[in-house]
Amino acid sequence: MLGVISCMKTGRKSELPNAELALEDPEVRLRNSALAARGITKAFPGVVANDRVDFEVLKGEVHALLGENGSGKTTLCKILTGFHQPDEGQIYANGKPTRFPTPASAFEAGIFMVHQNFSLVGPLSVAENVVLGWTQTRNWRFDKRKVEEQVFAAAKKFDMSIDPRATVSTLSVGEKQKVELLKALYRGAKTLILDEPTTVLTPQEAKQLFASLRRMAEEGEAVIFISHKLDEVSEVCDHVSVLNQGRPAGMANLREQRVDAQSLAKLMVGRDIHLRRKETTGLKPDAGIVLEIRNLNSVDSNGSAKLKNISLTVREGEILGIAGIAGNGQRAFAEAIAGLHLYGGGEIRVKGAALSSGNVRRSIEAGVAYVPQDRLGTGLAPGMTISENISLKSYRSVTHSVGPILRKKAIRDDTCRLLAEFDIKGQESSLVRQLSGGNAQKVLLARELTSDPNLIVVATPTRGLDVSATETVRDLLAQAAVRGAAIVLISEDLGEILDLADRIAVICAGEIQGIVDAEGAEIDAIGMMMLGKGSKENDSAAA
Amino acid sequence: MLPLELRFERRLETAPWLGPSLPILAIFVALFIGALILWTTGRDPATGYSDIFQAAFTKPGALTATALSATPLVFTGLTAALAFRIGIWNIGGDGQLMIGALAAATSGVALGHLGAWISIPAMIVAGAAGGALWGLIPAYFRARSGTSEVLTTLMLNYLAPLLLGYLIFSSKSWWRDLTSPGAKVFPQAKTIPFDTFWPVWGADIAIPFGFVLGIFMAVLMQIVLRTTKYGFEVLVTADSPLAGNYAGIRTKRVFITVFLLSAALAGIGGASQIGDFTYRLEPRTLQFAAYGYTGIAVAALARYNPIAVVVAAFFIGGLVNANLSLQGPELPLGLLGVIQGLILLFVAASEISARYRVVARYKSRPPIQ
């Protein structure tokens, strides 16, 4: 059954009025489709990843595939590209039944997937990367010039500005993505699948990508756009199909119907959620300073600067967002505060007490809680139980040990209390490795928040979490701020920072480019600062 | 070709009964293949195995001999079990045991006149210190410059017997016995005084003190790992050093102390060789016994669990003992070595089956059009 009908079953039809019935007819859509699936079921041991999924993308259409983590998006795409074989169901290419026994056979049918991590060769040029493994000539000599011209022409056709001679390793992430797209287009891709393409991009780069995608659609390409960012989906896509726990939860024509982010989110999780700026702030006018950083500098082992002269303050109940593109010193900054990173110069004080460079225990004793980006492996010991992970820091304290002996019963009791309090699905003795991403993050937060910290440093706290877990994590952080903790929120997701933060500091190349109030912040200005092109004025109100 | 497809598939969850039962299953598979070998070489597998079993466990005096063979393996097994658990590939149990034996013999000879209550504990402490000292060298280089301890401990395994051989055979050192009549025929080390011989318990089945000490160490290790702050730090560091650093555990210190403790256990094994068995330093015996390497196999058989190490050491000790007492034209040494090797091979291989399973399924055929 098609998505529209499944909407009807769940009584959501009224929210998605059907304007153009002819195109919504499953048979018509199937006949016009570039790539389609009917009744796809795929089970893995213990989980049904796809349950009778219908899906199709038309020629000249950008079609969003929306769903929470674990909703079966990836499995569906792997079936469509020949990585997996469906247990049941049929794939159609150009409206005709077909099979893709191998990835190569899907590729021959013009289906190309752009993954999140690129497969590019750094030292080679853009043009060389595009034709790598696809040199359509029997000539022993590689005609570089000709290839460069071809690649340039292809880029121009799709409105992509890129120098075919540039070395790939010197390109930005956004440009590398263009190379991946060109690779697909040059090889005659008719259907492109993009797996969460904007997670690594700045707002400007994302805009350019959207423009390129629209151009491709105009040229008759079919584009499948996997995402869980609702606003971009409504910005760039013609159609959206929503998956919920392996089942098609609905489909909407975004061009004909006015569908807003709220109702899409509702389809994804099957209930109302709020995606709007927090109403409460823990920040009071007379709040004291918790975190004070002065002239923080650090260099890496090669002698190049990682952090440059960072000075900022965070007050009680305040959430300071650190915005920036991944890999611009966020990690070193967070680890400097947590005592994991050795810094050369500068001073970090928490409630007046100076931290010492590379001294984790000093930071913990000063009341610094740290939720690292790398949850399993750094923030949690994955092969140990929940209760062992809960006591990862507190095992030294008098509540959890007497002399050299652990108080195992006290640890177990505290863990059971936290499991209930934070609604973690798992036993006190279950291994953290076996938990879902959301539950693992809750274990980490439970430990860090119950230590009653003065300062909480969180790095990309909702990355990879589904919508409902994201909501919980954000609520927990907002509550901690209301209770008076100062929070440093490091995130690549600008939307998250805008939702939660009181002020936003933008970091680029280890340097704070500027600090602005979140209320009324201009996204374009922040985006420019993320690229290091913004004004360097440091908001004096920050101090 | 069969339309069957065999694939390794990662187990999503390991059933709790699987871990302990796999080594036992592996032993049975090895014994079955061993039976085939016995059979093809013209021997009756049933009598062959019953001979081995009797020689190892049921003949008069067999259990005593087995316990004696098992004692050094308990210690070197614990050495490997502790170090490997945290990702330290200390394969230097052999050398550490020898230096431990040297240190214990030194203390036994020097302090023997003070009586058993002082000299025996002194031998144990000296053995542990000697082993730890031999472990300090690779531990230092690993911590300082990341030198692979596989190479350094292995090389020190070659160095230790050369040092012992030099002291006893090639020099007129303090350790060499230059007075007794036997020593004039063949060079040998000084014997420790009779008072310092380690006690033996039981009449029919004599259990050497070292074996009891080994059991005590295994239990102690399990208790320390499970109930103390230090043990918790070790387990966290073993699971994820990054998480350890993050939690404020001084993981470098944990690595070094575990390395030294693991080496010290091998050193106590060396002390027990002197106190329980040879009563003087026997460089050749220690060198050919290769207790350190067998200890690694014992630890693997026990899946790095200290209590299981004792059981595994007893089992392998039985085979070693049977090996020594049965060798002859009927059951050549090589054949028993083959069976022992098969057991270790299958036990090592069975570790993979704990994490993967073999899936057989019919190849999907294209549908009939």
Predicted TM-score of the model (pTM): 0.73
Same fold yes or no, A1-16+28-110+190-272 and A276-367+453-543: yes
The distance of A382 to chain B (nearest Cα, Å) reads 7
Contacts of B229 in chain A (CB under 8 A): 395-396, 401, 404-406
Cβ–Cβ contact B244 with A under 8 A:
yes
**Residue A170 parent element (H or E):** none
The distance of B292 to chain A (nearest Cα, Å) reads 29
B251, pLDDT greater than 70? yes
Cβ–Cβ contact B235 with A under 8 A:
yes
Cβ–Cβ contact B49 with A under 8 A:
no
Closest CA to B354 of B13, B85, B87: B13
Closest partner residue to B235 among A339, A384, A434, by Cβ?
A: A384
Q: What is the interface pTM, i.e. ipTM, of the complex?
A: 0.83
| Residue of B223, B239, B359 to mutate, interface with A, max A Cβ within 10 Å | B239
DSSP state of A199: T
The domain covering A276-367+453-543 belongs, at the CATH homologous superfamily level, to P-loop containing nucleotide triphosphate hydrolases (3.40.50.300)
Closest partner residue to B243 among A338, A379, A406, by Cβ?
A: A379
Give per-residue pLDDT as tens, B340-362: 888 888 887 887 777 777 777 66
φ, ψ of residue A330 to 5 degrees: the values are -60, -45
Give per-residue pLDDT as tens, B159-176: 999 999 999 999 889 999
Q: Which residues of B, range 88-107, sit inside 8 Å of A by Cβ?
A: none
Q: Which residue has the higher pLDDT, B43 or B79?
A: B79
Give per-residue pLDDT as tens, B120-155: 999 999 999 999 999 999 999 998 888 999 999 999
Cβ–Cβ contact B162 with A under 8 A:
no
Q: Is A372 exposed, middle or buried (0-12, 13-18, 19+ CB in 10 A)?
A: buried
Contacts of B232 in chain A (CB under 8 A): 388, 391, 395, 406
Contacts of B236 in chain A (CB under 8 A): 381, 384, 388, 392
Q: Is A410 helix (H, G, I), strand (E, B) or coil?
A: helix
Contacts of A46 in chain B (CB under 8 A): 12
**Residue A101 parent element (H or E):** none
Please state whether beta strands A401-402 and A405-406 pair in parallel, antiparallel, or not at all (unpaired).
Answer: antiparallel
Closest partner residue to A395 among B229, B242, B366, by Cβ?
A: B229
Looking at residue A279, its pLDDT comes to 60
Looking at residue A402, its pLDDT comes to 92
| Residue of A340, A392, A411 to mutate, interface with B, max B Cβ within 10 Å | A392
* β-strand partners of A487: A319, A456
- Residue B212 CA, chain-centre distance (Å), reads 16
The distance of B369 to chain A (nearest Cα, Å) reads 11
Cα B245 to Cα A149, A339, B23, B249: the distances in Å are: 52, 10, 34, 5
Cα A425 to Cα A416, A474, B354: the distances in Å are: 11, 18, 26
Each domain of chain A, given as residue ranges in start order, spans: 1-16+28-110+190-272, 121-188, 276-367+453-543, 383-451
Please state whether beta strands A33-44 and A88-93 pair in parallel, antiparallel, or not at all (unpaired).
Answer: antiparallel
- Give the burial string for A86-112 (b: 16+ CB within 10 Å, else e): beebebbbbbeeebbeeeeebbebbbb
Give per-residue pLDDT as tens, B295-317: 998 998 888 999 999 999 999 99
Looking at residue A14, its pLDDT comes to 34
Q: Confidence band (pLDDT; 50, 70, 90) for B1?
A: low
Strands (E), A61-190: 62-67, 88-93, 96-98, 111-114
The distance of B242 to chain A (nearest Cα, Å) reads 5
pLDDT, mean of each 10-residue run, chain A (543 residues): 36 37 66 86 77 87 79 85 88 87 84 82 87 72 82 82 84 82 84 82 81 86 82 81 80 73 66 52 80 90 80 93 83 93 91 92 94 89 94 92 93 94 87 84 93 92 80 89 92 82 89 88 76 53 37
The average pLDDT across B318-345 equals 82
Chain A residues contacting B via beta carbons under 8 Å: 45-46, 85, 99, 338-340, 360-361, 364, 370, 372, 374, 377-384, 388, 391-393, 395-396, 401, 404-406, 408, 434
Each domain of chain B, given as residue ranges in start order, spans: 4-357
Contacts of B7 in chain A (CB under 8 A): none
Looking at residue B92, its pLDDT comes to 95
Q: CATH number of A1-16+28-110+190-272: 2.60.40.10, 3.30.420.40, 3.40.50.300, 3.40.109.10?
A: 3.40.50.300
Cα A354 from Cα A363, distance rounded (Å)? 9
CB pair distance less than 8 Å for B12 and A45: yes
Contacts of A393 in chain B (CB under 8 A): 247-248
CB pair distance less than 8 Å for A340 and B230: no
Closest partner residue to B245 among A85, A340, A408, by Cβ?
A: A340
Residues in Cβ contact with B226 at an 8 Å cutoff, skipping those fewer than 6 apart: none
Cβ–Cβ contact B8 with A under 8 A:
no
Cβ–Cβ contact B242 with A under 8 A:
yes
- How many CB atoms sit inside 10 A of residue B85's CB? 21
Cβ–Cβ contact B368 with A under 8 A:
no
Closest CA to A328 of A308, A348, A302: A308
Q: What string of H, E and C letters represents the secondary structure of A513-533?
A: EEEEECCCCCHHHHHHHHCCC
Closest partner residue to B230 among A372, A384, A404, by Cβ?
A: A404
Give the CATH number of domain B4-357: 1.10.3470
CB pair distance less than 8 Å for A382 and B228: no
The distance of B228 to chain A (nearest Cα, Å) reads 4
Looking at residue A21, its pLDDT comes to 39
